[in-house]
Every structure is written in structure tokens, then in C-alpha cells.
Amino acid sequence: MAIKQKNAYDVVVVGSGGGGLRAAIGAAENGAKTLVICRGKANRSGATLLAGANISADIACDGATLHRLGISSKKADDTPDAWFSDILKEGFYLNNQNLLELFVETAGSRLTELKEWGLKIRGMEGDREVSVFGSDILDVLYKKAGELGVTFLQDTMFTDLIVKDGQVCGVVCVDLGEGEIFAVPAKAVILCTGGAHNIFPENSGSTDLCGEGQAAALRAGAELVDMEMISFCPTVTRYPLMYKGNILPYIFISTGYGVLLNKYGKTFTQRYLSPKVERLALDTEWNKMLLSYAIQSEILAGRGAAAGGVYFSLPQEPAEVMDELYLDLPPLKKGIYADIMKIFEAGRSITVQPSAHYFEGGIRIAPDMSTCVPGLYAAGECSGGMFGANRVSAATTEMLVEGAKAGASAAAFAAGSDRIPAAGSDLSGIEEELLRPFDRRGGENPGALKERLHALTAASLPVIRCRETLNEALAGLKELETALGAASLQDRERAYNRQWREYMELRNMIPCARAVVTSALLRKESRGVHIRSDHFVTDNRNCLYNVVLFGTDLKERLAPAVMTRERPEDCCQSYPDYIEKVVETME
């Protein structure tokens, strides 16, 4: 049975978070007939929705632009060059400097247009951070895309890129409701699928972030870069179960409220972070990397909570401090946050744990967002290279900057292409692979395989890693890949079949996890968010390279970091000492 083909488009965008919506706007503005494939609801799925727990997301922009827009005068003499240098230090010089140049040069234009399109600015968070709601960003972009005639396909899972003669010419998708597999021919495709958060049992993302863009890109012949670099949010809720994944404790910590306690009820971050580092860095997003390191160290020392993680406590006395809290964070009075506040009011704490939060690495892109496969583009968190070894600045700005560029580039590519998209492509191999578990008997079910995957990633890819567990995980992931090939379903209906969906997710999650483990093994040092207990130094002499992976068997290549403008000091120092030195220069 041949896969049904839908109408062809010039540009298909996969993903409807902020990156996907901005890419669609960019493509449509440049004359492309554009479709967005949305895993869930068009303006309510993807990572953007939960940015800052929808309480305190921020868009970063240089201070001079903020001054010009009348938003803030805190850093009116700021320049793109100064911002460039700061982000480079934050990224420990692994950033692709060509991408970073695009970031600092065009962030102002992206914020300016969002404001013109009606985005509500809710104040300032830092000198370069404008406070907004993630849902507001989505609503503004969705409305704009609609005005430009962009079409949306919702509740649709993207599974594969169609490649013919080395060029991308469409996508294969599944309508999750009906369970129907179909193809959409396209002259160019932009992947905006976000991070692969759900390869981890503990993560701060929504359930749709499963790495389908990264894995499909690999299958299509594109490269991945810096996959070992994953930011953990230090204080993501682990318990109570009902609020698992919620980053409210991180919002508290970043705003300055509450304390972290070990199993003895004692504070502990001072054991791992010098007073200087605590003073300089804990009120910026540097705290993600630094606190994750401190918390994981305390857990490894055997002083974590019985159920895993550590305790986040929000003392209720004096009452005046609670008044301050509600003044600073008014959303706490309503909805789910009011429910969570009841836990603290009852004198209890929340158990928190460093959890997968942001993927610095991803699909390798050029400054025009193209990949090495003609017709294939990537933008936002599923792409890699912008932030190097540690993101401190805003991922929202990244998605806007890269999305706009990818949309324009893909539209130009489509306009210059006279190929008939997807004509004559044989998709029976993809169809057979997608439907395979329906015909099997006696294999493991995808839910059980996902639990095995989570056990492997939790053991091998916490904040602090080492060769032994990484090697064990690599062997386990290879076994898992074989088991997935033999997996079978108990649920045999095509319509909204969760087991089948989990099978299709694992088809992407296992290669993503393998890519992360492989890259983590290849980086034999500690840099930024990648910490190796068996290589506890930052080595600028030997390790200023990006780990590049390609092919479904994950061939590897170490590429010198793209340093067109600035180089770091030539040194090799212990990880904490190096961080202290970097943080000092940020003052």
C-alpha cells in the first residue's frame, strides 16, 4: 500500500514552538507556500510554552537596542561586540562564532518586530533580559503566521525526511488521531523540533520533546554537533509526583527565595562553590550550571534525599518575606502555583533534582541555517553550535534569530529549485519500519523499552559523568536498538495508539541518547555543562574542538571550534578553578 501524498509546499516547517513559528513567518514573508507540522496544538506545544514556567521567561537583547526601544536604560552604552564576548565566555569558547555574530547582530530586530506585532513586555530581569510570558510569544507569532497565510497541521507526528538524489524533498508524518501515515512533498524543510528532553526520566520539558528532528536529520545524512552539551536546570521538581518536571523551585532560587537542604536539613552549596562564585554568579543563569554541579556533588557524596535529589525549602517566616514573594511573583496566587504554595504553607518541602533542561548541541548548521543536506535547514534548540559548552543567554532569542534566518534561507532555496518535490520517491521502507511492531509477536513493548532507556540515561548522563558508566550505557543502547527492532504492540488499533507512538519516539530517542553518550566519551575534559569526574580539567590546549557525528552508525570527527574573532587563554586548569576565573572576568 502506497503512502498517501498530501498537497506539496515550498517550505515545510517541523515544530510549532517559537522557532518553528518564526521560521514559518520568515518563509511566508519571502513568498514561500508554507506548512507547519505541529506535534500538538499549534500555539500550545513545544518548549516555548513552558519557558520560565510561564512566569518569568525572558528574551535577551543588547542594552543599546533596549534603550532605543524605550524598554530599559540599564545598559544604554552596550554594544553587540561586548555582548558577543560575554556569550563566548559563558560558552567556554566552543560557540560557533559565525552563528554567535548573527545572534548579537539580529536579536534587536527580532525583539523590535515582536513588540510591533503586539508582544506584551512585562519588565526587565537582568541588564539584557526582557521579561515576557512564553505563551505570549507563541500567541503573537501564531497570529502573525496566520495573517501571512501559513497552513498548520496539528496533532501530527513527524517521522522522517524524504531524501532523493541527496536532496530533501518532503516529510513523512503520522496523523496521531487517525493513525494514518502520509507524506508531504516540499522543496525545503526546516526542522524546529526542540531538544530531546524525554530521553531523560527527569527533565523539564513537555512530552513532545523526543529528538525526532535530530534523529531524522542523522538518517537523512546531516551531522550533529556538541551533543554532549546539555544544560541541567538545577532545581526541577521530582516529588511530589504531581508536579514532577515543574521548574517553579528554580524560579524561586533565581529570584532569591528559598534554600536548598541536604538530607540532614543543612545547606551545602558552599562546599562546592567559592564565596566569590556564589556572589557573582548565583543571581544570573550561570546558576543553572553551578548549582547543578553542587547538587549533583552532594548527591554523589551520599547526602541527598532518600527519594533522590535534595530538598527545596521555602520558610514561611517571617510573614513579611512571604508578602515580598507574592509581590515579586504575582502568578503564585493562582492556578497550579497556588496549589504548589499549599505544600510550603503546610511546612513541607519539594524534592528537587538537576534535570535535563536545554540542549546546546544538535543539528550542525551553517550561518544561513542550512545543513550539509541540500534543502534541509534547522533552527532553535534542535540545532547546535550557537551557545558552545553552556547557554546562559536566552534560548528564546536563539529560536527567533535562527528561525527568521532559516525561513528566509529555505524560501530562497525553494524559489531557486525547479525539482518536483518527492516525485517517484519509494517510501515503502519507511512505512514498513513504522508499522513493523503491529505484525510482531512476543517482543518487548515500547513502554518497557522506554523505562530501560531512562535507566541507562539516568545512570550514565547525570551532571557529572565518567567513562565507565558511559561505556556501559553505550553497550546498553545498542542492545536497546536491537530490542526495538523486535518490539511488539499489545494495542493493535491504529487510532491514537500510545504504544505505537512510543515505538516511533524510541526510534528517535535511542539514536539521540547514543549520540549524547558517544560525544560525552569523546570529550575527555570538563567544559561548561559537560563534567567528567575522570577528566576534571578544562583543557584549552587540546580540547577546543566540536564533536561532530554523522551517519546512523554515528561516525565521529573532531572539528576545530569556529573561532573567527576571539580565542581563549592557552591553559589547562582544574574545572572549579577555571570557572572561578571565568566568572571573575564577568564582573
Partner 1 sequence: MKEYHITIRRYSPAEDRQWTQEYRVPFPESGEVSVMNVLDYIYRRLDPTLAYFDHAACRQAACGKCVMKINGEIRLACKERAQEEMLLEPANSNVVRDLLCRM
CB 543 within 8 A of CB 518: no
CB 75 → partner 1: shortest distance, Å? 31
d(CA 473, CA 476): 5
Task: Tell me whether residue 151 or residue 207 sits nearer to partner 1 (CB atom).
Answer: 207
CA angle 462, 231, 294 (to 5 degrees): 60
Facing residues of 377 across strands? Answer: 190, 370
Task: Tell me whether residue 181 or residue 521 sits nearer to partner 1 (CB atom).
Answer: 181
Residues that bind partner 1 (CB under 8 A): 38-41, 44-46, 49-50, 53-54, 135, 155, 157, 176-177, 206-208, 239-246, 335-336, 339, 343, 445, 447, 489-491, 493-499, 501
CB 335 → partner 1: shortest distance, Å? 6
Task: Tell me whether residue 41 or residue 452 sits nearer to partner 1 (CB atom).
Answer: 41
CB 492 → partner 1: shortest distance, Å? 9
d(CA 177, CA 19): 25
Give me 234's grid cell: 538545577
CB 343 within 8 A of CB 194: no
CB 47 → partner 1: shortest distance, Å? 10
CB 45 → partner 1: shortest distance, Å? 4
CB 66 within 8 A of CB 131: no
CB 109 → partner 1: shortest distance, Å? 28
Give me 494's grid cell: 491504529
Task: Tell me whether residue 50 or residue 543 sits nearer to partner 1 (CB atom).
Answer: 50
Task: Tell me whether residue 205 or residue 258 sits nearer to partner 1 (CB atom).
Answer: 205
Task: Tell me whether residue 284 or residue 351 sits nearer to partner 1 (CB atom).
Answer: 351
Quick one: how many helices (H) and strands (E) in the chain? Answer: 17, 23
CB 176 → partner 1: shortest distance, Å? 6
CB 243 → partner 1: shortest distance, Å? 7
CB 367 → partner 1: shortest distance, Å? 31
3-state secondary structure of 571: coil
Task: Tell me whether residue 39 or residue 187 sits nearer to partner 1 (CB atom).
Answer: 39
3-state secondary structure of 329: coil
Task: Tell me whether residue 494 or residue 524 sits nearer to partner 1 (CB atom).
Answer: 494
Task: Tell me whether residue 125 or residue 505 sits nearer to partner 1 (CB atom).
Answer: 505
Task: Tell me whether residue 204 or residue 457 sits nearer to partner 1 (CB atom).
Answer: 204
Task: Tell me whether residue 54 or residue 457 sits nearer to partner 1 (CB atom).
Answer: 54
Residue 390 to residues 313, 361, 374, 529, 556, Cα–Cα distance (Å): 27, 10, 29, 6, 22
Give me 466's grid cell: 565518567
CB 340 within 8 A of CB 358: no
CA proximity to 247, closest of 291, 185, 306, 302:
291
Bond from prior residue into 318 cis (ω within 30 degrees of 0): yes
Kindly give, in sequence order, each residue whose CB lies less than 8 Å from that of residue 61, ignoring residues fewer than 6 positions away. 107, 108, 111, 128, 130, 397
CB 78 → partner 1: shortest distance, Å? 32
CB 515 → partner 1: shortest distance, Å? 23
CA proximity to 310, closest of 437, 415, 398, 202:
202
d(CA 544, CA 523): 10
Report which residue type is found at 370.
S
Kindly give, in sequence order, each residue whose CB lies less than 8 Å from that of residue 147, ignoring residues fewer than 6 positions away. none
